[in-house]
Amino acid sequence: MQANTLTAQSQVHINLAERSYAIHISRGILGDPASYQGLPQASCALIVSNTTVAPLYAAQLQAALKPHFPKILLVTLPDGEVYKNWQTLQLIFDVLLENACDRKTVLFALGGGVVGDMTGFAAASYMRGVPFVQVPTTLLAQVDSSVGGKTAINHPLGKNMIGAFYQPLRVLCDLDVLKTLPPRELSAGLAEIIKYGPIADMEFFAWIETNLDALLAGDAAALAHAIRRSCEIKAWVVGQDERESGLRAILNFGHTFGHAIESGLGYGEWLHGEGVGCGMVMAAHLSERLGLIDMALVERITRLSERAGLPVRGPVLDPVDNAGRYLELMQVDKKAEAGEIRFVLIDKPGSAVMRAVPEAMVRSVIDACCA
């Protein structure tokens, strides 16, 4: 399938019984009042954004919400993963309570993954739950936070350790906003898109290989297809396992190594998508060592990630015992159960599996994959 045969407009329906919602993927929808029709009646809307995104898009969103809500508040959070903590979350609650916002208030997450995660958790917790709408402004947030209902903040001892499963009312992926996205962030988003190939759909992987230049150039039709297909795959997985008891864990392909990198370097040093991109390459190597896939696939994944502008070699987190440091960081990861480290691996091309891996093999892969 070629990008030029695609349409730049589509919708993915997320089926979760009474918590079902639609993801709208199109150009110019952020600033279109029609995008916000049919939301619950409320006297108040609160836009949560950050210092980078608010100057670019908050006024547009405010104008589009004006026909629907009598009062529209804005809270602008500091930008960055380091601020994804309780102190920043409090800023949202402060604004809500200072303005006596009731439990019908609708929250709008205008920003990337951090804004989405914090707004979602604030919505899940404020008065034990108010509705919220996602308006993701990064490619990563459009493909990743759009589906799954995961919301969270970080704790000093671990990433995303405090949060809730909470579904948005609607997700609006405006393709135009990706034009203002720095190239490094576009690459980070592509990591989560590429991820779906080896774990779920090798045909999609081949399509990305063919259309990567169009995606990197910001071609709307190509982006729309990549976002829609990623959301569809994620929705299919999440639909079968909303609360991550089993299958859903495969979405964490690349994340175990990725989280160790992010946390070991200090959050914010590498983008989340960069950690995932590199972690995916490491997890592919682990799959190859176990004899699940051949080196040709490892190389295809590595080459595509490199072309997408992603780091493919892990950073050295400890010059004395680098593998030991990685292992230590992976112990506190949520996927560590009963002290055992389990990895999401490629079972065969287009299919994933959870496996406990011998520590010696993990060490050897870390040694081989770090710069």
Binding site for a second copy (CB under 8 A): 43, 86, 90, 93-94, 97-98, 100, 102-104, 124-129, 150-152, 155, 157-158, 160-165, 243-244, 331-332, 334, 336-339
With respect to a second copy, which residue has the nearer C-beta, 81 or 288?
81
d(C-alpha 265, C-alpha 268), whole Å: 8
| CB nearer to a second copy: pick between 13 and 103 | 103
Shortest Å, Cβ 242 to a second copy: 11
- Which residue in 291, 355, 333, 1 sits closest to 159, CA to CA? 333
User: Among residues 102 and 213, whose Cβ is nearest to a second copy?
Assistant: 102
Known catalytic membership, residue 192: yes
As measured in angstroms, the least distance from the Cβ of 166 to a second copy is: 9
Min CB(258)–a second copy separation in Å:
17
Catalytic residue among 244, 269, 306, 328: 244
**CB-nearer residue toward a second copy: 100 or 320:** 100
68 is known as an active-site residue: no
Judged by beta carbon, residue 38 or residue 243, the one nearer a second copy is 243
CA atoms of 173 and 175, how far apart (whole Å):
6
115 annotated ligand binder: yes
Identify the active-site residue in 68, 170, 228, 272.
Answer: 272
Q: Is 150 annotated as a binding residue?
A: yes
In degrees and rounded to multiples of 5, residue 23 shows phi and psi of -105, 120
**Distance (Å, rounded) from C-alpha 277 to C-alpha 65?**
36
Let me know: does 370 contact 313? Beta carbons within 8 Å: yes
**Residue 28 is encoded by which pair of tokens?**
């110019």
Determine how many CB atoms are found less than 10 A away from the CB of residue 350: 17
3-state secondary structure of 43: coil
Comparing C-alpha atoms, which of 181, 190, 153 is closest to residue 267? 153
Between the CA of residue 169 and those of 8, 21, 41, 130, 228, what are the distances in Å?
Answer: 22, 6, 13, 10, 18
Task: Name the residue nearer to a second copy (CB basis): 38 or 339.
Answer: 339
Is 285 catalytic? The answer is no
H or E stretch at 164:
strand 158-165
**Was 79 annotated as part of a binding site?**
yes
Let me know if 136 is exposed, middle or buried by CB neighbors in 10 A (0-12, 13-18, 19+): buried
Burial class of residue 236, CB neighbours in 10 A (0-12, 13-18, 19+):
middle
CB 221, min distance to a second copy, A: 35
Cα–Cα distance between 297 and 309 in angstroms, integer? 19
Q: Which residues pair with 355 in a beta bridge?
A: 343
Closest distance between a second copy and the C-beta of residue 349, in Å?
A: 30
Q: Which of 195, 225, 255, 342 is catalytic?
A: 255
Give me the catalytic one of 170, 229, 259, 285. 259
Residue 83 among known ligand-binding residues? yes
Q: Per the residue annotation, which of 18, 98, 128, 243 is the catalytic one? A: 128
Tell me the C-alpha distance between 215 and 217, whole Å. 5
- Catalytic residue of the set 150, 228, 229, 300: 150
Active site residue 155: no
Q: Does the annotation place 113 within a ligand binding site?
A: yes
Catalytic residue among 50, 68, 192, 342: 192
| Spatial separation of the C-alpha atoms in residues 78 and 209, rounded to whole Å | 36
Known catalytic membership, residue 225: no
Confirm whether residue 12 is marked as ligand binding: no
Judged by beta carbon, residue 72 or residue 220, the one nearer a second copy is 72
Q: At closest approach, how far in Å is the CB of 38 from a second copy?
A: 19
Q: Is 114 annotated as a binding residue?
A: yes
Concerning whether 128 is annotated as a catalytic residue, the answer is: yes
Residues at the binding site are 79-84, 113-117, 137-138, 150, 159, 192, 255, 272
Known binding residues for Zn(2+) are 192, 255, 272
Catalytic center residues = 128, 150, 192, 234, 244, 248, 252, 255, 259, 272
Residues annotated as binding site for NAD(+)? 79-84, 113-117, 137-138, 150, 159
